Amino acid sequence: MRNVLVTGAGSGIGRATAEAFVAAGDAVVAAMRDPGRSGEVPGAETIALDVTDDASVTAALQGRPAFDVVVNNAGISRSGPVETIDLDDARAQFETNYWGAVRVVRAVLAPMRARRSGLIVNVSTVGGRTPSRGYHAFYQGSKHALRAMSEALVWELAPFGVRVALVEPGFVATSIFDRGGYHDAPPPSPYAADEAWVRRFFLEGAAAQAIAPQQVAEQILAVAAEVRPRLHHPVGADAEAGVAAARSLEFEAWYDTAVARVESFAGPRPQPAPADPADADPA
Ligand SMILES: NC(=O)c1ccc[n+]([C@@H]2O[C@H](COP(=O)([O-])OP(=O)(O)OC[C@H]3O[C@@H](n4cnc5c(N)ncnc54)[C@H](OP(=O)(O)O)[C@@H]3O)[C@@H](O)[C@H]2O)c1
């Protein structure tokens, strides 16, 4: 029986992963921001843990025995133009997706290191391997940063026998885009029509191609069963294709392919209104 921690276990991939480890007979700590709202995971120890809050992470994890598997899954996605996105929204993605994982890793590593074993699984996205699409600078940036942190951890933890894996799904059928406001029209900005077009791609792409969260959970359990797992684990056909394209194409060729892919789901790319010279010279 393994001792397993899953963050963001109240819904989606996190809940499916916690349930899968419970079904495998493991001792699971299902951590979520608000267990009263999300509901407990049957068979698991359900605890409150907000990955953006130092005190919450300490209160939830301090003094616990070594985990065999830690799944950093908690995450959010918000779209928005670099020029106009609310900076709180931009920062929140790094605070949750990157710093949240950093906080949890720092809280759990000492006993794992001391025991010379264990596995950290960081739930990234294929977008953590590919160049960034428009309006996803901060989501993808946070996941690229998660990849950089994971690579450094491989190096730092190898001598202590602790392994690190990145699970990198493509579209997964969860409520992440509902929660991120993708069904809403973007706030007024010179980019609004283009951003709406990209949001539509995410919704239509997910409707057409999303895999079930249980499939990601199965992949995480498969990784946890390996003695020496590799770092990278794309999940889903679209993730495999995205990684292959990112590997083989220079950015400019990738960009053309990515725009064509958005058009295949969301129709022709909208063009901005003709330039108004008055806007270029506000004085
Ligand atoms: N769905 C996809 O297409 C997709 C694709 C690639 C990667 N991913 C990644 O998969 C992971 C899980 O997302 P999902 O698709 O399963 O979406 P989801 O159902 O929205 O799950 C995200 C979970 O993270 C939790 N969370 C958010 N902020 C938190 C915080 N500060 N502290 C603790 N928990 C927090 C949420 O809890 P609350 O209920 O409290 O908000 C929610 O349970 C994310 O890291 C996401 O980036 C998703």
177: Cβ below 6 Å to ligand 1?
Answer: no
pLDDT at position 283? 66
**3-class DSSP state of 205:** helix
- For residue 253, how far is its CA from the centre of ligand 1 (angstroms)? 31
| Kind plus residue range of the DSSP H or E element containing 250 | none
Side-chain-side CA neighbours of 176 within 13 Å: the count stands at 26
pLDDT at position 53: 98
* pTM of this structure: 0.97
Kindly report the number of other CB atoms within 10 A of residue 65's CB atom: 9
**pLDDT at residue number 276:** 78
> Is the shortest distance between the CB of 128 and ligand 1 below 6 Å?
no
**CB of 34 closer than 6 angstroms to any ligand 1 atom:** yes
Q: Is 80 in the pocket of ligand 1 (CB under 6 A)?
A: no
Is 124 annotated as catalytic? yes
Residue 166 DSSP SS3:
strand
Measure 47 CA to ligand 1 centroid, in angstroms: 16
Catalytic residue chosen out of the listed positions 38, 77, 79, 124: 124
Q: How far is the CA of 101 from the centre of ligand 1 (A)?
A: 12
139: annotated active-site residue:
yes
Rounded alpha-carbon distances, angstroms, from residue 10 to 15, 34, 64, 272:
5, 8, 21, 40
Q: What is the pLDDT of residue 280?
A: 77
Delineate the domains of the chain, giving CATH numbers in brackets.
3-270 (3.40.50.720)
Determine whether the shortest distance from the Cβ of 14 to ligand 1 is under 6 A: yes
Question: 52-66 pLDDT, tens per residue?
Answer: 999 999 999 999 999
For residue 97, the ligand 1 atom closest to its alpha carbon is: 45
> Quick check: is 79 catalytic?
no
Cα of 11 to ligand 1 centre, how many Å?
7
Tens of pLDDT along 98-116?
999 999 999 999 999 999 9
What's the pLDDT at 129?
Answer: 96
Measured CA distances, 277 to 83, 190, 191, 272, 282 (Å): 20, 15, 18, 14, 9
| Tokens describing residue 69 | 């598997």
Q: Please tell me which residue in 38, 143, 150, 191 is annotated as part of the active site.
A: 143
Cα(10) to ligand 1 centroid in Å equals 9
Give the residue ranges of the chain where pLDDT is below 70: 282-283
Does the C-beta of 60 come closer than 6 Å to ligand 1?
no
Q: Whose alpha carbon is nearest atom 42 of ligand 1? A: 8
